[in-house]
């Protein structure tokens, strides 16, 4: 029954996207909810509005079974989202751990190398990934958008690296042409040679990654 599914969503605290799907299947209509669906970020207050709409809708429903054409809506979140939620929890724990050590180092006999390592982990490793994880979860809760699967991510990364490799090869070709000029200043020659070496190293790393 759709009424039971709504109650399950209310009890388990399902996602915003799942709640909207239940509301639609149950025949609900709300201009307020239509506006909320268009928001980039759905907050707890928005979800409370959806919760109230579903509660009112469920209370108005009879206890008889819903029409057979209403498909069952799975309230279990997709595996990719569950994995992200678990990763987010672990990152938050690590964030708290690193923050506590940063404070301890800052107010104790500061080990500058240790402070740098902790700050680097917080700003480079933890915070950007936390933002990525929770932005993806919010996208799913807002409109059901799922993150790309691992296979697609690998393909996209490979295409990006191939494009970068091509651009660097083109740049190296142009730099070599510049180096053939006899009147090229020594300062420019050294700079071009250093850039060529840097890009050749980067190309070698890309080709190793791609197995070329």
The domain in which residue 32 lies consists of 2-59
Cα radius of gyration (the chain): 27
Cβ-based neighbours of 137, under 8 Å, separated by 6 or more: 81, 84, 85, 88
Q: How many domains does the chain have?
A: 3
Is the pLDDT assigned to residue 204 strictly greater than 70?
A: yes
Q: What is the pTM of this model?
A: 0.41
| pLDDT-based confidence at residue 71 (cuts at 50, 70, 90) | very low
Please indicate, yes or no, whether residues 21 and 53 belong to a single structural domain of this protein. yes
Q: Which of the two residues, 42 and 84, has the higher pLDDT score?
A: 84
Please indicate, yes or no, whether residues 48 and 20 belong to a single structural domain of this protein. yes
Residue-level length of the chain: 212
Q: Which of the two residues, 205 and 108, has the higher pLDDT score?
A: 205
Is the pLDDT assigned to residue 155 strictly greater than 80?
A: no
pLDDT, tens digit (0-9, with 9 covering 90-100), for 76-96: 667 778 778 888 888 999 999
In a domain, 64, yes or no: no
| pLDDT-based confidence at residue 154 (cuts at 50, 70, 90) | low
| pLDDT-based confidence at residue 171 (cuts at 50, 70, 90) | very high
Please indicate, yes or no, whether residues 157 and 139 belong to a single structural domain of this protein. no
The pLDDT of residue 7 is: 82
Q: Which of the two residues, 208 and 174, has the higher pLDDT score?
A: 174
The pLDDT of residue 192 is: 92
| pLDDT-based confidence at residue 147 (cuts at 50, 70, 90) | confident
Calculate the average pLDDT of the chain: 81
Is the pLDDT assigned to residue 151 strictly greater than 70?
A: no
In a domain, 34, yes or no: yes
Is the pLDDT assigned to residue 150 strictly greater than 60?
A: no
Q: Which of the two residues, 39 and 64, has the higher pLDDT score?
A: 39
In a domain, 18, yes or no: yes
Please indicate, yes or no, whether residues 158 and 191 belong to a single structural domain of this protein. yes
Section 53-62 average pLDDT: 83
Please indicate, yes or no, whether residues 120 and 170 belong to a single structural domain of this protein. no
Complete DSSP assignment for the chain: -HHHHHHHHHHHT--HHHHHHHHHHTT---HHHHHHHT-SS--HHHHHHHHHHHHHHHHTS-SSPPPTTSPP---SPPHHHHHHHHHHHHHHHHHHHHHHHHHHHHHSS--HHHHHHHHHIIIIIIHHHHHHHHHHHHHHHHH-PPPPPHHHHHHHHHHHHHHHHHHHHHHHHHHHHHHT-TT--HHHHHHHHHHHHHHHHHHHHHHHHHT-
Please indicate, yes or no, whether residues 127 and 183 belong to a single structural domain of this protein. no
Residue % of the chain over a pLDDT of 90: 24
- CA distance linking residue 154 with residue 206, whole number of Å: 13
């Amino acid at each position: 029954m759709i009424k039971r599914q709504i109650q399950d969503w209310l009890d388990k605290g399902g996602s915003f996207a799942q709640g909207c799907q239940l509301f639609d299947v149950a025949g609900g209509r709300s201009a307020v909810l239509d506006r909320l669906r268009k928001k980039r970020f759905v907050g707890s207050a928005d979800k409370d509005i959806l919760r109230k709409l579903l509660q009112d809708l469920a209370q108005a429903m009879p206890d008889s079974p819903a029409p057979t054409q209403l498909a069952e809506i799975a309230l279990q979140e997709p595996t990719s989202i569950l994995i992200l939620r678990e990763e987010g929890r672990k990152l938050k724990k690590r964030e708290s751990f690193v923050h506590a050590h940063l404070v301890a180092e800052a107010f104790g006999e500061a080990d500058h190398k240790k402070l740098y390592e902790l700050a680097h982990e917080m700003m480079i490793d933890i915070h950007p990934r936390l933002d990525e994880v929770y932005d993806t979860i919010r996208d799913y809760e807002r409109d059901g958008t799922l993150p790309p699967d691992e296979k697609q991510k690998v393909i996209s990364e490979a295409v990006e690296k191939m494009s970068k490799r091509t651009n660097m090869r083109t740049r190296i070709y142009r730099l070599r042409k510049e180096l053939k000029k006899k009147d090229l200043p020594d300062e420019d020659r050294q700079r071009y040679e250093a850039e060529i070496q840097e890009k050749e190293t980067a190309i070698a790393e890309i080709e190793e990654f791609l197995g070329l």
